[in-house]
């Protein structure tokens, strides 16, 4: 468990460092880059919400199936 936690922290820190380097090396102007990042971020959040909603519906259906009385 501890190794997995360390691995996830490493991925997170690596992502932050990579994104900071990408921002510093970006050829776009600051305003245009911020608009693109905001747009991508909102799209990413919407994708996550959509996936979470779909998973929630799937799990509710499974739970209802498991709670239903079984016919013999």
SS (H, E, C) 10-59: HHHHHHHHHHHHHHHHCCCCHHHHHHHHHHHHHHHHHHHHHHHHHHHHHH
pLDDT of residue 57: 96
> pLDDT tens across 4-14, in order?
888 889 998 99
pLDDT > 70: what percent of the chain? 99
Q: Which domain does 34 fall in, by range?
A: 2-67
Please give the mean pLDDT across all residues of the chain: 87
Number of domains in the chain: 1
pTM of the full predicted structure?
0.51
What's the rounded mean pLDDT across residues 42-53? Answer: 94
5-to-2, 14, 15, 51 alpha-carbon distances in Å: 5, 14, 15, 24
Can you give the pLDDT at residue 72? 64
Give a yes or no: residue 60 inside a domain: yes
In a domain, 72, yes or no: no
């Amino acid at each position: 468990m501890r190794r997995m936690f360390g691995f996830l922290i490493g991925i997170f820190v690596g992502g932050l460092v990579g994104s900071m380097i990408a921002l510093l090396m970006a050829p776009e102007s600051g305003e245009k880059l911020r608009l693109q990042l905001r747009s991508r971020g909102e799209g990413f959040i919407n994708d996550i919400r959509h996936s979470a909603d779909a998973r929630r519906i799937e799990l509710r259906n499974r739970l209802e199936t498991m709670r239903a009385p079984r016919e013999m």
